[in-house]
Amino acid sequence: MVDDAVFDGWIIAYQAGRTHRDTEDWIESELAKAALWFKTDKGRRKLAHLKDLLRFMNNWLTRASDPPKRKQVQQSHAYH
């Protein structure tokens, strides 16, 4: 369970043009994804300390909020 102050801070930090409710829903969805990610590998459970989990979730939310990176395709310049 995440402290209300931390959750409210995430809403402010990651709102990015969404409504408050949409941001709240997005964060809850990302928390569910992270929880599932942890459950799939026992080795990941080493982040059991709250401080480490909060740092992990900040990083998770930052990566999730970034737009997907496009792969740059090299264009071949054929000179005739």
In sequence order, the 6+-apart residues with CB closer than 8 A to the CB of 31 are 2, 57
The per-residue pLDDT for 31 is 92
Tokens of 23: 């941001």
In sequence order, the 6+-apart residues with CB closer than 8 A to the CB of 15 are 23
Where do the structural domains in the chain lie, given as residue ranges? 4-64
Per-residue model confidence as pLDDT tens for the chain (80 residues): 688 999 999 999 999 888 999 999 999 999 999 888 878 877 666 666 667 788 888 999 999 998 777 666 666 666 65
Write out the DSSP string of 17-80: T--HHHHHHHHHHHHHHHHHHHHT-GGGGG--SHHHHHHHHHHHHHHHHSPPPPPPPPPP----
Task: Report if pTM > 0.75.
Answer: no
The per-residue pLDDT for 16 is 84
Total residue count of the chain as it appears in this document: 80
